[in-house]
Structure 1
Amino acid sequence: MNEDHKNEPVFIRSRWGTRRYVYNPGNPIGLALIIGTLLFAGGMMYNLQEDLSWSEWELDDAVHAAARTLETTPQRLTFGDDYADLIHDAIDATKEGPSTHVKVSPEWGNGEDPTGDRFDIRTTDTKTRYCMTLTPPQPEDSDDPLAPDPVVTLSVQVTKGSC
């Protein structure tokens, strides 16, 4: 160790006109603290960015977990709900990624398949799309306001790619 650095303090008063203490880059420990603080802050920023975007595997896990949930639990359609809302809520419940970036769009196709409703699932963060088919098709809304909310038991099929 150099004789000059032996007597340097780890903390010194700031030269910016404040009375605060700062790390001293002239001391090896102070320099290590500066570098360590920068690395820690960079790592935290990277981790925060990773938490705010979907990865391919997170979307895959969330879509398949949502499909299992929709298939195993009878679903109650309250006034104004539709299958797209159920899918979005089931993906949110998986806690896999940030739910704000998931887009669930009904894909009506050419109307040749009256046995099920299809939905395109995608995010702005990934290139992969999923097609989820729910059977039976969504029941029509009742005009009777006193009618009970319909409960449906769904059969779900998920394929990779657009509908």
Structure 2
Amino acid sequence: MSEEPVFVRSRWGTGRYVYNHRSPVGLALIVLTSFVALGVLFGMRAQSTWSESELGDAVREGVQALEGKRHYTSLESDHGLLITEAMRESGIGPRYGVDTRQGEGGAYTVSTEDTDSAYCVRITFTRDDQPPVVFPGAADRPPPGPDMLAFYLSHATVSEGRCP
């Protein structure tokens, strides 16, 4: 058995204790710590990247969550954030890294940097005529135009591939 201590004071002027590479236990701890650190880094990388199946599952779950959901929005808004938020709420995949590109007619191409696949999500809105709060004079106002905020119900569909 070696008489070398497992920990020694650092000679770099900090006065802290460090693993002693001359001790067999200290050397084993140095090697073990390196492997644990690498495992943690690889695990973090795996949790922060999208896989093909995760993206597909998250898009489908997000579209299901959007179906019939009530939103306070305008028809002219970019609704890509609604898709991203619905995917995030599904709990599938990382919480970030989704790219939604707006196309024509309420179509959004959903993809990530980590995958080669893309999905076309189409969102349409119908007017929700039951606002949660009735305020004086609401019946006298005209219906909102496409750029005015109002309550709408969303309807969403998904297909594989980029939107045309």
The TM-score with structure 1 as length reference comes to: 0.74
CA distance in 2 between partners of 1:99 and 1:21 (Å): 39
1:121 and 2:121 aligned: no
Q: How many residues align?
A: 148
Q: Deviations over 1:10-57 (max 9, x none)?
A: 112223233222111222211111111111111222222233322222
1:78 and 2:78 aligned: no
1:158 and 2:158 aligned: yes
CA contact (8 A) 2:70 2:153 kept: yes
Q: Which runs of 5+ in 1 are unaligned?
A: 109-115
Residue of structure 2 equivalent to 1:20: 16
What one-letter code is carried by the residue in structure 1 that aligns with 2:54?
Answer: E
CA distance in 2 between partners of 1:45 and 1:58 (Å): 20
Q: Deviations over 1:67-90 (max 9, x none)?
A: 11011x422232474432321221
Task: State the structure with bigger RCO (CA 8 A, min sep 6), 1 or 2.
Answer: 2
The TM-score with structure 2 as length reference comes to: 0.73
Identity of aligned residues (%): 36
Residue of structure 2 equivalent to 1:112: none
5 Å-filtered alignment, 1:49-88, equals 49-71=45-67, 73-79=68-74, 81-88=77-84
CA distance in 1 between partners of 2:146 and 2:154 (Å): 22
Alignment match of 2:85 (pick from 85, 89, 93)? 89
Residue of structure 2 equivalent to 1:142: 145
Residue of structure 2 equivalent to 1:113: none
CA contact (8 A) 1:132 1:159 kept: yes
RMSD, matched Cα:
3.0
Q: Decide whether aligned partners of structure 1 residues 162 and 137 sit closer, same or farther in structure 2, where only a CA change above 3 A counts.
A: farther
What one-letter code is carried by the residue in structure 2 that aligns with 1:44?
Answer: V
CA distance in 2 between partners of 1:39 and 1:121 (Å): 37
1:131 and 2:132 aligned: no
What one-letter code is carried by the residue in structure 2 that aligns with 1:66?
Answer: G
